[in-house]
């Protein structure tokens, strides 16, 4: 027996409110995830694109007062957004396109580098969240304390949301602030005041469905490696299926003239290239809704099929997770 | 009245009234009505008798379909969250949060119970000392042996100082020394710290060692509920005679002295029976029974080593209750 062993002692003290206990699940989940060195490296890596986009913001703001930079920035806009029209307009009058350029660059930031980083980070964090509890019967520990199923799910979702916010919301808001400070004109705040709100909403659009689907993959099996596989498979299969069907659709229409192909370069954000098959690719569906959030979605097109798709997938995923956990509790 | 106050101690910690639970067509709990008082209560029953369902119902992990239940005076399912805050549960299954060390696991459970982070760590060390953990508390739980995981679950169950402990097979996976130690701790918590404890077990020895009340379940119903003292009281079931200097001879004629005694008693119209290990059972004969046994022993030249009133053994009570249930359902 240890010298300091004093036997059992009663405990009395103030307890936190029952309604806030889910926070412990979230904090523990985040702390456990941070023990992965791969995750730390990926998080550092995920901030590097923000440096590049920050530099683009700087170039764009400088191009308003320095004409020699117009060609450079219009080239960057063309490459980053695949929008030749916007690039042309920026070349002729950059100051008039400030909101569009900022929105497009932020959307490009969300879609391309952070889209890939989201896939990797969630692929590292989420698969173990539920599957590990199912394998090791951790749910018996959670639910023997004042935790409800909703609180459990919310705590787990919060873990994924935390990391998604770290690679999307936080760097995008930082980018905005950096862009404002690097601008020679304080009118930039007036022109772009709504963008931080749009960044937050676009992040939420990304976070809710992806976290829900990731938890569904995790709840699908008690083996986290299968959960990792299913997470990546959903995105890759969706993308490949869309690409194949889209190619078939293009082939059916016949080969467009070279000039037409040049004017309609394949670009994910161009509605001119949109296809009904996008609905089967999670990446494209997310892209469309984020495009809408940033105000870049054509007014003549309907967004509700994409928004509905995201809502249905999120809800179905959460219901699936809840049913899996409830089933285990009853066993 | 503060329900969470240690001073609040209802007379019956658990009360179930006509509780029924079905899984599809299978009846897991069949109109269960029972009151469980303070102290240590043992819940016994064969596999599939409904013990685990009963425990899960008490914690609100499964919903009961009819009947009413209160735990520590709090009604289920309306106050299930408060109940869980006052109850420590040690699950039968091996369960842990992967990636955490032992001390972190206990701290995690303390924090789930609403204890602040630093206080949770201090309290976790305290209960891990009580659960006899040394430096291994800093190892990941995945590396723990079965016995250590059992002790860990015990520490997790008591970290928030609950009024009621529900321990599902608390000694499973423990070596004899650890098992005795665990039973001592359970007894200590009940006697010296006023905890009410419900032990669900298959091990009758554990029940005999620590329990005040015994509940036997079979086929989803309560077959018997009484104090251990009552169950062990001498019955009017006659006497057991232990015959001394016994030497088993052959397979067909074992314990010849006991056999001679049985034969002699039958000659005087006493329906004695030879039981295991040469013990002779003699039915109750009133005041003259002892005299008749001594006379028969003297005539047959048998040395009597001991003479005890027949008592219920927990095993007998348990098997009888289960047998009754089996016949009742057949």
Chain segment B227-247, per-residue pLDDT in tens: 887 777 666 567 788 887 655
Closest in B23, B81, B111 to A24, CB measured: B111
Share of chain B above pLDDT 70, in %: 85
Mean pLDDT value across residues A54-69:
90
Whether B200 shows a pLDDT value over 50: the answer reads: yes
Name the residue with higher pLDDT: B256 or A131: A131
Cis peptide upstream of residue B77 (ω within 30 degrees of 0): yes
Whether residue B4 has pLDDT greater than 60: no
User: Does A145 reach chain B within 8 Å, measured CB to CB?
Assistant: yes
CA distances from A11 to B68, B89, B169 (A): 31, 17, 25
Whole-angstrom Cα distance, residue A194 to residue A217? 35
Q: In what order do the strands lie in the sheet with B74-76?
A: B26-37, B12-23, B66-71, B74-76
* pLDDT band at residue A5 using 50, 70 and 90 as cut-offs: low
With a CB cutoff of 8 Å and minimum separation 6, the contacts of A321 are A130, A153, A212, A215, A216, A218, A219
The closest of B265, B256, B219 to B54, measured between CA atoms, is: B219
Measured distance between the N- and C-terminal CA atoms of chain B, rounded to whole angstroms? 49
Report which of residues A271 and B329 the model is more confident about: B329
Per-residue pLDDT band for B1 (boundaries 50, 70, 90) equals very low
Could you say which residues from 285 to 304 on chain B have a Cβ atom under 8 Å away from some Cβ of chain A?
A: none
**pLDDT-above-70 percentage for chain A:** 92
Instruction: Report the distance separating Cα B233 and Cα A287, nearest Å.
Output: 77
Provide the pLDDT for residue B230. 76
Q: Looking at chain B, which residue has its C-alpha nearest residue A25?
A: B112
SS3 B185: helix
Task: Give the pLDDT of residue B324.
Answer: 63
Residue B306 C-alpha, separation from nearest chain A C-alpha, in angstroms: 42
pLDDT average, residue stretch A126-141: 94
Residue B156 touches partner A, C-beta closer than 8 Å: yes
CB contact under 8 Å between B161 and A11, yes or no, is yes
Q: Are the Cβ atoms of B82 and A145 closer than 8 angstroms?
A: no
- A43/chain B closest Cα distance in angstroms: 20
Q: Which residue of A has its CA nearest to B189?
A: A8
pLDDT at B225: 85
Per the CB < 8 A criterion, the answer to whether B127 and B159 are in contact is yes
Indicate the range of A15-19, A74-78, A131-135, B202-206 predicted with least confidence. B202-206
Question: Chain A window 30-89: which residues touch B at a Cβ cutoff of 8 Å?
Answer: 32, 35
**B112, B185, B188: residue with CB nearest A24:** B112
pLDDT score recorded for residue B3: 45
Lowest mean pLDDT among A26-40, A135-149, A203-217, B285-299: B285-299
The sheet carrying B40-44 orders its strands as: B87-90, B164-168, B196-201, B40-44, B213-218, B221-227
A17–chain B Cβ distance below 8 A for any pair:
yes
**pLDDT score for B219:** 84
Q: Would you state the pLDDT for residue A253? A: 74
**Quick check: B129 and A5 CB within 8 A?**
yes
Q: Confidence band (pLDDT; 50, 70, 90) for B271?
A: confident
Give yes or no for residue A269 having a pLDDT over 60. no
Q: Is the pLDDT of residue B328 over 60?
A: no
Distance from CA of A99 to the nearest CA of B (A): 46
Contact status of B126 with chain A (Cβ, < 8 Å): yes
Reported as a single tens digit per residue, the pLDDT across A167-216 is 999 999 999 999 999 888 888 999 999 999 999 999 999 999 999 999 99
Closest by CA to B51, choosing from B305, B322, B330, is B322
pLDDT at A267: 47
Using one digit for the tens of pLDDT, what is the confidence trace for A272-306? 456 778 889 999 999 999 999 999 888 888 899 99
**Chain A CB within 8 Å of residue B221 CB:** no
Beta strand residue intervals within B176-233, DSSP E = 196-201, 213-218, 221-227
pLDDT of residue A265 exceeding 50: no
* Chain A residues touching B94 at Cβ < 8 A: 136-137
ipTM of the complex: 0.86
For residue B227, give how far its alpha carbon lies from the nearest alpha carbon of chain A (Å).
Answer: 27
What letter does residue B93 receive in the DSSP assignment?
A: S
pLDDT band per the 50, 70, 90 thresholds, residue B293: confident
Region of B194 please: left (phi>0), alpha (psi -120 to 50) or beta: left
The model's confidence at residue A266, banded by pLDDT at 50, 70 and 90, is very low
Q: Give the count of Cβ contacts less than 8 A between chain A and B.
A: 124
> Chain A residue closest to B125 (CA)?
A5
CB contacts of B161 in chain A (<8 Å) are 10-12
Phi, psi of B167 (to 5 degrees): -115, 115
A17 contacts on B by Cβ (under 8 Å): 114
Query: Which of A155, A183, A164 is CA-nearest to residue A56?
Result: A183
- Of the partner residues B85, B89, B193, the one whose CB lies closest to the CB of residue A18: B85
- pLDDT of residue A260 exceeding 90: no
Average pLDDT over residues A87-98: 90
Q: What is the DSSP string of B20-66?
A: EEEETTEEEEEEEEEEEESSEEEEE--TTSSHHHHHHHHTTSS--SE
**Rounded Cα–Cα distance for residues A129 and B290 (Å):** 71
- Which tens digit of pLDDT belongs to each residue from B254-266? 677 888 888 888 8
Pick from A8, A12, A147: CB nearest B188? A8
Residue that has been written with the tokens 């956990």 in this structure: A325
Looking at every residue in chain A, the average pLDDT score rounds to: 89
What's the first-to-final CA gap in chain A, in angstroms?
A: 39
Quote the strand ranges of chain A, DSSP E. none
Contact B74, B3 (CB under 8 A): yes
When pLDDT is averaged across residues B314-326 and rounded to a whole number, the result is 68
What average pLDDT does the structure give for chain B? Answer: 84
* pLDDT value of position B162: 94
**Cα angle for residues A194, A200, A206 (degrees, 5° grid):** 135
Say whether A140 and B95 touch across the interface (CB within 8 A).
yes
Among A146-160, B61-75, B202-216, B267-281, which is the least confidently predicted range? B267-281
A150 touches chain B (CB under 8 A): no
Question: pLDDT tens for residues B95-145?
Answer: 999 999 999 999 999 999 999 999 999 999 999 999 999 999 999 999 999
Percent of chain B at pLDDT exceeding 90: 43
- Name which of A8, A145, A329 is nearest B84 (Cβ-Cβ): A145
- Higher confidence at residue A235 or residue B243? A235
Contact call for B189 and A8, based on CB within 8 A: yes
Band of the pLDDT at B2, cuts 50, 70, 90? very low
**CA–CA separation, A240 vs A253, rounded Å?**
20
Q: Which range is least confidently modeled, A7-11, A132-136, B68-72? A: A7-11
Helix or strand holding residue A323 (H, E): helix A304-330
| Contact status, residue B18 vs residue B76, Cβ threshold 8 Å | no
Chain centroid to Cα A142, Å, comes to 28
Q: Determine the pLDDT at residue B330.
A: 47
Q: Sorting pLDDT into bands at 50, 70 and 90, what band is B180? A: very high
Beta bridge partners of B26: B23
């Amino acid at each position: 027996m240890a010298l300091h062993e004093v036997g059992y002692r009663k405990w009395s003290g103030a307890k936190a409110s029952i309604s806030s206990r889910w926070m412990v699940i979230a904090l523990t989940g985040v702390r456990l995830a941070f023990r992965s060195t791969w995750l730390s490296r990926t998080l550092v890596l995920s901030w590097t694109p923000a440096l590049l986009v920050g530099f683009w913001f700087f170039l764009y703001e400088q191009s308003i007062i320095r004409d020699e930079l117009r060609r450079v920035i219009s080239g960057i806009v063309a490459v980053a957004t695949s929008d030749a029209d916007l690039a042309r307009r920026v070349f002729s009058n950059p100051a008039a396109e400030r909101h569009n350029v900022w929105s497009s660059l932020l959307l490009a930031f969300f879609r391309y580098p952070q889209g890939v980083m989201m896939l990797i980070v969630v692929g590292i964090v989420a698969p173990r969240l539920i599957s590990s509890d199912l394998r090791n019967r951790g749910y018996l520990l959670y639910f023997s304390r004042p935790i409800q199923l909703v609180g459990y799910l919310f705590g787990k979702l919060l873990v994924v949301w935390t990391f998604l916010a770290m690679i999307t919301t936080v760097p995008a808001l930082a980018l905005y602030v950096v862009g404002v400070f690097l601008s020679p004109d304080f009118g930039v705040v007036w022109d772009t005041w709504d963008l931080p709100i749009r960044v937050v909403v676009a992040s939420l659009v990304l976070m809710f469905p992806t976290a829900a689907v990731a938890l569904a993959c995790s709840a699908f099996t008690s083996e986290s490696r299968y959960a990792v596989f299913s997470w990546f498979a959903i995105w890759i299969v969706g993308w490949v299926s869309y690409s194949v069907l889209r190619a078939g659709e293009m082939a059916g229409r016949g080969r467009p003239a070279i000039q037409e192909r040049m004017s309609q370069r394949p670009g994910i954000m161009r509605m001119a290239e949109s296809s009904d098959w996008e609905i089967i690719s999670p990446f494209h569906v997310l892209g469309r809704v984020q495009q809408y959030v940033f105000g870049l979605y054509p007014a003549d097109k309907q967004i509700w099929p994409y928004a509905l798709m995201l809502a249905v997938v999120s809800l179905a995923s959460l219901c699936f997770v809840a049913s899996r956990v409830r089933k285990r509790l009853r066993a | 009245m503060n329900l969470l106050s240690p001073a609040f101690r209802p007379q019956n910690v658990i009360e179930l009234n006509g509780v029924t639970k079905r899984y599809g067509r299978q009846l897991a709990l069949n109109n269960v009505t029972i009151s469980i008082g303070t102290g240590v209560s043992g819940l016994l029953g064969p596999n599939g008798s409904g013990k685990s369902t009963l425990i899960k119902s008490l914690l609100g992990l499964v919903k009961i379909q009819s009947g009413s239940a209160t735990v520590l005076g709090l009604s289920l399912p309306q106050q299930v969250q408060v109940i869980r805050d006052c109850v420590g549960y040690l699950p039968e299954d091996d369960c842990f949060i992967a990636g955490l060390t032992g001390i972190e696991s206990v701290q995690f459970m303390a924090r789930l119970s609403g204890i602040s982070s630093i206080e949770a760590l201090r309290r976790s060390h305290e209960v891990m000392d009580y659960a006899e953990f040394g430096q291994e508390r800093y190892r990941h739980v995945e590396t723990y042996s079965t016995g250590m995981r059992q002790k860990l679950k015990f520490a997790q169950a008591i970290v928030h100082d609950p009024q009621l402990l529900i321990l599902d097979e608390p000694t499973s996976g423990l070596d004899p020394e650890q098992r005795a130690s665990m039973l001592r701790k359970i007894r200590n918590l009940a006697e010296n710290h006023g905890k009410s404890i419900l032990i669900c077990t298959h091990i009758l020895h554990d029940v005999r060692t620590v329990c005040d009340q015994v509940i036997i379940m079979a086929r989803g119903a309560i077959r018997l509920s009484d104090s251990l003292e009552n169950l062990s009281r001498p019955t009017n079931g006659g006497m057991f005679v232990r015959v001394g200097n016994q030497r088993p001879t052959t397979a067909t004629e074992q314990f010849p002295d006991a056999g001679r005694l049985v034969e002699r008693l039958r000659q005087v119209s006493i329906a004695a029976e030879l039981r295991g290990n040469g013990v002779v059972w003699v039915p109750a004969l009133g005041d003259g029974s002892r005299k008749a046994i001594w006379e028969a022993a003297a005539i047959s030249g048998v040395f009597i080593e001991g003479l005890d009133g027949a008592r219920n053994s927990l095993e007998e009570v348990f098997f009888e209750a289960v047998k009754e249930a089996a016949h009742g359902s057949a």
